[in-house]
């Protein structure tokens, strides 16, 4: 027992430190094994993943900005120093080290940037040259109203004034109508109407509404056809739409398919653009402003010539007789041969109520007229005895004018119906006359003179066919009348 104590003490000395060192050694071995196995798994996963054909060089040529590949510990050494360095490097990057980016430019990118720079330089030089060119001295061909008050010279003030005047004139081109005269010259006196009537289209003759169920629908105002047809014998009617041509042209064609009532159609493109609004300038119509009457629902449209305008309430699509109420006054204005309509329009207190105020004036004149006629007949008792019915035959002048206008309107509508029938027959006759591509290739197309001759012959055939059908209709009507009598 005494001999074993030193060995036990020796074992205790050896084993004691072994118990202290063994845990650290086991942890180190386990950590290395884990790192080795983790690296092997990552390497195995990378080998198993499909490799993309888009490498860094191809992406750089396509214009993509690539990040620098991470310099993490991709290779693991079996030595402890290399694993410690990789762990320290990962911790250092995790504490806020920023990733560096590098921009790769291909040859096409460099060319593109060079061309863009040249374009900017060229644009700047062009604008500078154009600006200096606009400061040049006045040319003799330039309009006098533009050069008025600005002299020639190359002082900074005069150059700026000339630049500003030309700049303003360049933009005013888009504010003016496309033509200086919107209408052709008036026809000769036998065919010339005494006055010109400019009528708006939207919310006066028609009204358009949109609904989710039906979409856009356009309603024609009651009495529109009679209004246009009756006044066309006194006025040169011009429809001036407040909308663009692409939207309003079809409506105008529906109102007057054969252009019997309306002489001309104008649209928003023919307005003057000023202060942010479109204005219907009647001074551009190539007509005497004193013989032009305008009817519109928007005060901005007749802003330049309010003395020629008859304001009207916007029609909301409900049935009314607003158009028929305007006819007596417009008929009176055209039949009295006035030299200037503006004083006549200015004599009314409220232009919106012209039909009502005019009816009151006519009633007073009619009462006075018949009173004067009765007084005249009573004073001349000899004439009364000879012709007792003379007083009853005298009519009020405006009533006589209205009766003549109604007769002319009836005859005019008959002519229009005949013309529509002729047009329909002509379309039927000419509908089958077509030329194929084979005719064009073989040269079987008649000459222009032959085509005109053929059209005249077709026109004569249409006239004969129409007269024949007209006689047949007359005979059928007489037969019906005889059958009713019998």
- Say yes or no to pLDDT of 15 above 50: no
State whether 413 and 335 are in the same domain: no
Residue 228 exposure: Cα atoms within 13 Å on the Cβ side: 26
With a CB cutoff of 8 Å and minimum separation 6, the contacts of 180 are 284
Q: Is residue 370 assigned to a domain?
A: no
pLDDT of residue 95: 52
pLDDT of residue 49: 54
Return the C-alpha torsion angle 147, 153, 155, 160, nearest 10: 20
Q: Is residue 113 assigned to a domain?
A: yes
pLDDT of residue 150: 83
State whether 208 and 342 are in the same domain: yes
Q: Is residue 365 assigned to a domain?
A: no
C-alpha–C-alpha distance, residues 160 and 163, integer Å = 5
Give pLDDT tens digits for 358-398.
999 999 999 999 888 888 877 766 656 655 555 456 788 99
User: Token pair of 333, please?
Assistant: 């204005």
pLDDT of residue 469: 79
With a CB cutoff of 8 Å and minimum separation 6, the contacts of 350 are 357
Q: Is residue 367 assigned to a domain?
A: no
State whether 154 and 265 are in the same domain: no
Q: Is residue 407 assigned to a domain?
A: yes
pLDDT of residue 425: 77
Q: Is residue 390 assigned to a domain?
A: no
C-alpha–C-alpha distance, residues 479 and 152, integer Å = 88
State whether 337 and 285 are in the same domain: yes
pLDDT of residue 81: 47
C-alpha–C-alpha distance, residues 306 and 480, integer Å = 56
pLDDT of residue 23: 46
State whether 420 and 309 are in the same domain: no
- Say yes or no to pLDDT of 486 above 80: no
> Which secondary structure element, helix H or strand E, spans residue 114, and what is its range?
helix 107-133
Q: Is residue 178 assigned to a domain?
A: no
CA 424 to chain CA mean position, Å:
34
State whether 410 and 463 are in the same domain: yes
Per the DSSP assignment, residues forming a β-bridge with 214 are none
State whether 255 and 321 are in the same domain: yes
Buried b (16+ CB within 10 A) or exposed e, 3-14: eeeeeeeeeeee
Helices (H) and strands (E) in the chain, counts: 16, 11
- Say yes or no to pLDDT of 176 above 70: yes
Q: Of 298, 194, 320, 293, whose CA–CA distance to 241 is shortest?
A: 298
Count of structural domains within the chain = 3
Query: Residue 186, exposed/middle/buried by CB under 10 A (0-12, 13-18, 19+)?
Result: middle
User: Token pair of 125, please?
Assistant: 């030089």
C-alpha–C-alpha distance, residues 349 and 258, integer Å = 39
State whether 336 and 447 are in the same domain: no
Q: By the 8 A CB rule, do 257 and 427 touch?
A: no
Find the CATH number of the domain harbouring 228: 3.40.50.1000
State whether 137 and 258 are in the same domain: no
Give pLDDT tens digits for 49-74.
555 666 667 666 666 655 444 444 44
Q: Which of 308, 326, 347 is the last residue of a domain?
A: 347
Q: Of 313, 355, 350, 302, whose CA–CA distance to 333 is shortest?
A: 355
* 138 SS3 class: coil
Cα distances (Å, whole numbers) of residue 75 to 109, 144, 243, 336, 340: 36, 87, 77, 110, 104
Give pLDDT tens digits for 123-140.
999 999 988 888 888 887
Full residue range of the structural domain in which residue 311 is found: 189-347
Question: Mean pLDDT throughout 263-272?
Answer: 93
Torsion-angle region of 178 (φ positive above 0: left; ψ -120 to 50: alpha; else: beta): alpha
State whether 162 and 205 are in the same domain: no
Sign of CA dihedral 29, 32, 38, 44: negative
User: Token pair of 404, please?
Assistant: 């003549």
Give pLDDT tens digits for 336-366.
989 999 999 999 999 999 999 999 999 999 9
Q: Where are the alpha helices (DSSP H) in 380-447?
A: 381-386, 390-393, 397-430, 437-442
pLDDT of residue 21: 43
Q: Of 293, 276, 204, 286, whose CA–CA distance to 242 is shortest?
A: 204
Q: Is residue 18 assigned to a domain?
A: no
Q: Of 239, 233, 231, 235, whose CA–CA distance to 194 is shortest?
A: 235
Give pLDDT tens digits for 72-127.
444 444 444 455 545 555 555 545 444 445 566 788 888 899 999 999 999 999 99
Query: Residue 54, exposed/middle/buried by CB under 10 A (0-12, 13-18, 19+)?
Result: exposed
The residue to which tokens 């000419």 are assigned: 430
State whether 306 and 341 are in the same domain: yes
The residue to which tokens 């933009």 are assigned: 171
> Which secondary structure element, helix H or strand E, spans residue 467, and what is its range?
helix 448-485
Q: By the 8 A CB rule, do 237 and 334 touch?
A: no
User: Token pair of 100, please?
Assistant: 């560096």
Give pLDDT tens digits for 390-428.
545 678 899 999 999 999 999 999 888 888 888 787 777
State whether 134 and 205 are in the same domain: no
Per the DSSP assignment, residues forming a β-bridge with 211 are 215
Give pLDDT tens digits for 137-172.
888 777 676 677 788 888 888 888 888 888 777 666
Give pLDDT tens digits for 281-320.
999 999 999 999 999 999 999 999 999 999 999 999 999 9
Give pLDDT tens digits for 207-253.
999 988 889 899 999 999 999 999 999 999 999 999 999 999 999 99
Question: Mean pLDDT throughout 254-275?
Answer: 91
């Amino acid at each position: 027992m005494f001999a074993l104590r030193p060995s036990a003490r020796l074992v205790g000395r050896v084993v004691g430190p072994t118990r202290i060192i063994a845990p650290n050694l086991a942890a180190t071995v386990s950590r290395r094994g884990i790192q080795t196995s983790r690296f092997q798994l990552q390497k195995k996963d990378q080998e198993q993943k499909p490799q993309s054909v888009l490498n860094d060089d191809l992406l750089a040529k396509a214009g993509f900005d690539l990040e620098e590949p991470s310099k993490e510990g991709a290779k693991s050494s079996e030595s402890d120093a290399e694993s410690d360095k990789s762990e320290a490097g990962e911790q250092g990057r995790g504490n806020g080290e920023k990733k560096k980016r590098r921009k790769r430019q291909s040859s096409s990118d460099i060319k593109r940037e060079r061309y863009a720079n040249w374009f900017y330089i060229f644009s700047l030089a062009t604008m500078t040259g154009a600006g200096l060119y606009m400061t040049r001295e006045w040319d003799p061909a330039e309009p006098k109203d533009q050069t008025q008050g600005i002299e020639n010279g190359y002082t900074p003030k005069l150059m700026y004034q000339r630049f500003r005047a030309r700049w303003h004139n360049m933009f005013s081109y888009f504010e003016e109508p496309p033509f200086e005269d919107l209408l052709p010259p008036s026809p000769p006196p036998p065919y010339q109407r005494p006055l010109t009537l400019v009528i708006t289209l939207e919310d006066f003759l028609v009204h358009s509404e949109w609904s989710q169920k039906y979409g856009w629908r356009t309603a024609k105002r009651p009495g529109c056809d009679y209004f246009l047809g009756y006044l066309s014998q006194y006025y040169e009617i011009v429809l001036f739409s407040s909308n663009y041509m692409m939207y309003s042209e079809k409506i105008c064609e529906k109102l007057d398919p054969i252009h019997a009532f309306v002489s001309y159609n104008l649209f928003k493109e023919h307005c003057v653009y000023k202060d942010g609004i479109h204005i219907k300038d009647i001074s551009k119509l190539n007509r005497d402003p004193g013989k032009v009457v305008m009817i519109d629902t928007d005060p901005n449209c007749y802003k330049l010539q309010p003395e020629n305008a008859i304001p009207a309430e916007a029609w909301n699509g409900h049935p009314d007789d607003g158009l028929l109420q305007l006819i007596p006054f417009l008929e009176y204005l055209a039949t009295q041969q006035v030299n200037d309509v503006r004083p006549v329009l200015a004599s009314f207190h409220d232009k919106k109520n012209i039909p009502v105020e005019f009816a009151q004036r006519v009633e007073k004149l009619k009462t006075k007229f018949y009173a004067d006629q009765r007084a005249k007949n009573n004073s001349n008792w000899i004439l009364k005895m000879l012709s007792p019915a003379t007083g009853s035959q005298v009519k009020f002048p405006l009533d006589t004018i209205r009766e003549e206008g109604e007769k002319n309107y009836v005859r005019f509508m008959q002519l229009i119906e005949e013309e529509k029938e002729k047009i329909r027959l002509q379309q039927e006759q000419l509908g089958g006359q077509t030329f194929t591509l084979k005719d064009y290739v073989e040269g079987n197309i008649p000459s222009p003179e032959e085509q005109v001759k053929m059209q005249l012959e077709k026109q004569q055939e249409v006239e004969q066919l129409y007269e024949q059908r007209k006689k047949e209709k007359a005979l059928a009507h007489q037969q019906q009348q005889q059958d009713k009598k019998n």
